[in-house]
Amino acid sequence: MRRTCLLYQSDRPIPYLSAWQWQKQLVEERKQARREGIDLPDVLLLIEHPAVYTLGQGSSLEFLKFNLEDHNIECHRIERGGEVTHHAIGQLVAYPILNLDYHQHDLHWYLRQLEEVIIQVLAKFGLSSQRIQGLTGVWINKSGQNQKIAQVGIKVSQWITMHGFALNVNMDLSGFDRIVPCGITDCQVCNLNQFVPDVRVEQVKIAIAQTFAQIFNLEMQLPLSTSL
């Protein structure tokens, strides 16, 4: 029997701080429910953000090419792993709130499953992609050069997950020029629409939701209220 997962989406960009707060609320609700012997369904938030930078909890500031005191640039240090990354409209960000008690108590497995979701989504659009040994995320080889199309960074507390992955669909990639993406020197980034010019964000949302459900053996359900 498939476990239920509530799918929250939005047709408008969601401010980063709003989504971050909501994730923390969902995680705490599931921790409290567990203490009370209640099993709440898993959740997948699938959204876009206005331009923002996020630093992992151990990220080095040396990978920033801007001043943190510049109030025109939104930047937050958060509790996920990994180095600095960039979000913007045209990039789909997936935040799974999963209770790994019902999946696997294995963070390595979980990271590889998230990457597998991305790899299979890209395959649905006719693209071959791969992991790189020792790194997280997903790359596409273009003219002999690996270009990163998706970033992965998670936080797991008491086996409840938060944060997740970001897939570049048709975003303005120039925002990555202000950082060393994921702390990888000479890291090149790319968009899905560079390979599939007519791709639409809505198509990719559907592919992510379907593939995520298959990989994690979930039954996706739209909540009674889908507003974010």
What structural domains and CATH numbers belong to the chain? Answer: 3-221 (3.30.930.10)
- pTM for the whole thing? 0.95
**Measured distance CA(42)–CA(191) in Å, rounded:** 29
**pLDDT value of position 105:** 98
The one catalytic residue in 5, 75, 182, 187 is: 182
H or E stretch covering 112: helix 107-124
> With contact defined as beta carbons under 8 Å apart, do 94 and 208 qualify?
yes
Q: What is the pLDDT of residues 14-69, one digit of tens each?
A: 999 999 999 999 999 999 999 999 999 999 999 999 999 999 998 899 999 999 99
Q: What is the pLDDT of residues 81-92, one digit of tens each?
A: 989 999 999 999
Does the annotation mark 187 as catalytic?
no
**Measured distance CA(121)–CA(125) in Å, rounded:** 7
